[in-house]
Amino acid sequence: MSLEIPQDPEQSLTKFKVRVLLVDDQLIIVEALRRMLTAESDIEFHFVTEAEKALQCAIELQPTVILQDLVMPGADGFELLGQYRSNEYTEQVPVVVLSAREDPKLKAHAFSMGANDYLVKLPDRLEMLARIRYHSNAHISRLQRDQAFRFLRESQQQLAAANIELQKLAALDALTGISNRRRFDETMLLEWQRGQRERQPLSLLMVDIDFFKYFNDTYGHPAGDLCLKRTAAVLTEHLRRPADLVARYGGEEFAIILPDTDSAGAMTVARACVRTLEQLQIENKRAEPRGVVTLSIGVATMVPGKGFTPGDLIGAADQALYAAKHGGRNRAVDAASIPSSAA
């Protein structure tokens, strides 16, 4: 499985261009602005002469600055200012008011409505260019900052997702795909603590493939790996609840944790696993007397409490596994059935 590493934000930022939108019904003003800007290769010039189309045009073009006439047929510039500022797509776009009047009251009202600048039209070309670039550059910096923050949030989300995947992979056995010893240890501790709180039984099955060394010596390690995978699949098949866990404990040994499960329930699962693997009839001709791959399982059940530890449960299941091996293999033995003198 491959994990995508987020790119460098500096390499992913959009290169914004200065884009001017003039909103003015006088074509003579449109032409004058066009001539002012025509030699500026870094500036795009757009215009609209109908007030009712101004907002939609601004939304579609996403200009870096709007040059807005104050007096237009059908609407005034102040009304359009309010529309820009109440729309999520244009609320941050700088607006420079163009007016024929040098009036302090008009200026004050324009700024109170959200204008960023006020010019008596038409100013000197150099001044106009300076103001266009000043407001556009400030807006572009804001856009790039917002984009960088968005990229950072997306990167953090991707990294968080990647970390979750890595944690999952770190908890899995590479060969069989089931949980590994680390995950077993973590889960055993958590379920032991939960059993203490809720006073519920916790069962553990220690599972070992019989005569596995003979199998590897006879058929080779690739066949041995396949045998381990098939055994893991058999064990997983008999788990019915999300909290149940099967793990590769080490080598040809597996472990199954069954929370909230009494001894009888754990033995039912163990016997079913033993029976199912034997029925697969995986040849192991040196495994006398059956000549097929089989399992031995030790089962132990405890209600976690003071004076006991997870190690006590593991030790009891190991003792039961030892008894299963010495009792003829291909069987499950409950630790509770072992005489205390034998334990």
Residues annotated as part of the active site: 252
Do 158 and 6 touch, CB atoms closer than 8 A?
A: yes
Quickly count: other Cβ atoms within 10 Å of residue 121's Cβ.
18
DSSP state, 7? P
Do 67 and 19 touch, CB atoms closer than 8 A?
A: no
Compute CA distances 80 → 45, 83, 104, 117, whole Å: 19, 5, 20, 15
3-state secondary structure labels for all residues of 222-264: HHHHHHHHHHHHHHHHCCCCCCCEEEEEECCEEEEEEECCCHH
Peptide bond into 61 cis (omega under 30): no
Strand ranges across the sheet with 245-250: 245-250, 253-259, 202-209, 295-302, 331-334
DSSP SS3 for 315: helix
Quickly count: other Cβ atoms within 10 Å of residue 232's Cβ.
21
* Integer Cα distance of 172 and 180 in angstroms: 5
* Integer Cα distance of 207 and 247 in angstroms: 10
DSSP 121-174: SS--HHHHHHHHHHHHHHHHHHHHHHHHHHHHHHHHHHHHHHHHHHHHHHTB-T
What would the two tokens of residue 196 be?
Answer: 């203490």
